[in-house]
């Protein structure tokens, strides 16, 4: 089967694929009839474009969601000869089987990884990847149901199976307290011989503290402004615009505000930000307040912090060094939530700080109870062994 040319990936919500007129979804059997349509879409492509437009401010999410939308649209129309708006639960059972074993042009290694003629799969998707892909597609279908475009979401009937049904996940990609303390100490050993050395040190020092103490996502930190930090009833907060444009308020400690003041004074700014200030919270290395860092720059700076920390730890703790080499920006968010939970912070407060939609999501950061259970269990086993002798 020859797949049609598709648009190259870009941060914009464009979906430049052409579908046959008979399969454009105007007459889909799952189209909602008689209700009030909330979106100006007559075809499946138009409806999916509007869904993708909701994520225009989150480039990484947009690319991932668009990839799954393209896969589904092409598979439905080319394999089943059905539009997306006619798919049934039975069709999605077949689609899940397809994701586990894509064949032919879908995963042809001779096709390039990028460009209009790129292959859409590198090979079979793992159970976890299939679960993620179908979760994204289910989100699309639910959106179209809420928009009055579809009558129902066939994936709402999907039964949870495998590892996802057996137990709740646990977050493992975080730094324990000892590793985090080592990271902080390692930064203080960075050279500050030249002016650029000093600039890079101050920015890196501030960046990792900002990410850890607020739990901001990388894109949120990159877009943060000094004016987002404000006082209310004597307490400092930072206003955050997160995924999907959702807004939230995150507590800021006096210690973090002191670190912010240090960073600002280093670059010749007033220690305390004002509400009308347009300066970036994370500036260019030379301290230009008009220039925000990009999410990619934030990621690379944090990776360098972890790499240097790993180099310093290699001879003392090879396992810890290995962990640090794997770590990335999102590990700091996980570390923030985990350490707050370890300290006994109310789970509801952690949920608000992390801006999780569900408290079940926040629950995956509860490690302290497991640590206590392990310690008490092992202690009892040791005591029993001693009594046996």
Q: Are residues 144 and 189 in the same domain?
A: no
- Judge whether 185 and 206 are in contact, CB under 8 Å: no
Neighbours of 60 (CB within 10 A): 14
pLDDT in tens, 37-80: 888 899 999 999 999 988 887 777 888 889 899 889 989 998 89
Amino acid 315: pLDDT: 92
pLDDT reading at 337 higher than 90? no
Are 86 and 226 found together in one domain? no
26 shares its domain with 91: yes
Residue 119 pLDDT greater than 90, yes or no: no
Answer yes or no: do 209 and 145 share one domain.
no
Are 148 and 247 within one domain? no
Lowest average pLDDT, out of 239-253, 257-271, 282-296, goes to: 239-253
Residue 126 shares a structural domain with residue 191: no
Residue 14 belongs to some domain of the structure: no
Q: For position 193, which CATH number holds?
A: 1.10.443.10
Asked if 157 and 294 sit in the same domain, the reply is no
pLDDT for residue 159: 62
Predicted TM-score (pTM) of the model is 0.55
Is there a single domain that holds both residue 338 and residue 191?
A: yes
How many structural domains comprise the chain?
2
Q: Which pLDDT value is given to residue 372? A: 53
Domain containing 255 equals 177-372
For 131-186, what is each residue's pLDDT tens digit?
888 889 998 999 999 889 999 999 887 765 554 444 444 556 789 899 999 999 99
Is 48 part of a structural domain of the chain?
Answer: yes
Task: Kindly state whether residues 328 and 197 are assigned to the same domain.
Answer: yes
Single out the residue in 166, 194, 215 at which a domain terminates: 166
Q: Which residue has the higher pLDDT, 271 or 169?
A: 271
Arithmetic mean of pLDDT, 194-216: 95
pLDDT of residue 373: 45
Q: Supply the pLDDT for residue 370.
A: 53
Same domain, 254 and 120: no
186 lies in the same domain as 159:
no
pLDDT at 167: 47
pLDDT score at 314: 93
pLDDT of residue 360: 58
| Residue whose C-alpha is closest to residue 76's, from 51, 58, 61, 94 | 94
Q: Give whichever of 61-70, 122-131, 279-288, 367-376 has the largest mean pLDDT.
A: 279-288
Helix/strand/coil (H, E, C) string of the chain? CCCCCCCCCCCCCCCCCCCCHHHCCCCCCCECCCCCCCCCCCCHHHHHHHHHHCCCCCHHHHHHHHHHHHHHHHHHHHHHCCCHHHCCHHHHHHHHHHHHCCCHHHHCCCCCCCCCCCCCCCCCCCHHHHHHHHHHHHHHHHHHHHCCCECCCHHHHCCCCCHHHHCCCCCCCCCCHHHHHHHHHHHCCCCCCCHHHHHHHHHHHHHHHHHHHHCCCHHHHHHCEHHHEEEECCEEEEEEECHHHCEEEEEECHHHHHHHHHHHHHCCCCCCCCCCCCCECCECCCCCCCCECCHHHHHHHHHHHHHHHHHHHCCCCHHHHHHHHHCCHHHHHHHHHHHHHHCCCCHHHHHHHHCCCCHHHHHHHCCHHHHHHHHHHHHHHHHHHHHHC
pLDDT band for position 298 (cuts 50, 70, 90): very high
- Would 15 be classed as within a structural domain? no
Rounded Cα–Cα distance for residues 133 and 350 (Å): 28
Mean of per-residue pLDDT scores for the chain: 82
| % of the chain surpassing 70 pLDDT | 80
């Amino acid at each position: 089967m020859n797949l049609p040319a598709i648009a190259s990936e870009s941060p914009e919500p464009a979906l430049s694929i052409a579908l046959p007129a008979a399969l454009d979804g105007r007459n889909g059997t799952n189209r909602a009839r008689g209700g009030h349509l909330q979106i100006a879409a007559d075809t499946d492509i138009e409806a999916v474009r509007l869904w993708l437009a909701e994520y225009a401010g989150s480039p990484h999410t947009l690319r991932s969601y668009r990839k799954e939308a393209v896969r589904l649209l092409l598979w439905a129309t080319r394999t089943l000869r059905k539009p997306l708006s006619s798919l049934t639960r039975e069709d999605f059972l077949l689609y899940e089987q397809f994701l586990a074993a894509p064949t032919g042009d879908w995963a042809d290694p001779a096709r390039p990884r990028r460009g209009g003629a790129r292959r859409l799969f590198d090979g079979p998707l793992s159970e976890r990847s299939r679960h993620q892909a179908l979760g994204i597609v289910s989100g699309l279908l639910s959106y179209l149901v809420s928009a009055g475009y579809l009558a129902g979401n066939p994936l709402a009937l999907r039964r949870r199976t495998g590892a996802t049904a057996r137990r709740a996940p646990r977050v493992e990609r975080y730094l324990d307290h000892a590793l985090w303390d080592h990271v902080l100490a390692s930064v203080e050993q960075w050279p500050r011989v030249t002016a650029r050395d000093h600039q890079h040190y101050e920015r890196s020092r501030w960046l990792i503290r900002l990410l850890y103490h607020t739990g901001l996502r990388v894109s949120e930190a990159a877009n943060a402004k000094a004016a987002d930090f404000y006082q209310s009833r004597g307490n400092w907060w930072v206003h955050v615009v997160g995924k999907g444009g959702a807004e939230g308020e995150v507590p800021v400690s006096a210690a973090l505000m002191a670190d912010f003041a240090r960073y600002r004074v280093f670059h010749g700014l007033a220690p305390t930000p004002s509400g009308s200030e347009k300066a970036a919270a994370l500036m260019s290395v030379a301290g230009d307040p008009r220039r925000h860092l990009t999410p990619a720059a934030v990621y690379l700076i944090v990776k360098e912090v972890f790499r240097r920390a790993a180099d310093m730890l290699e001879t003392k703790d090879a396992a810890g060094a290995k962990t640090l080499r794997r770590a990335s920006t999102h590990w700091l968010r996980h570390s923030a939530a985990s350490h707050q939970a370890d300290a006994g912070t109310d789970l509801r407060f952690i949920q608000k700080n992390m801006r999780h939609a569900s408290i079940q999501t926040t629950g995956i950061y509860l490690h302290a109870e497991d640590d206590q259970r392990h310690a008490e269990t092992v202690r009892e086993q040791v005591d029993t062994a001693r009594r046996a002798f």
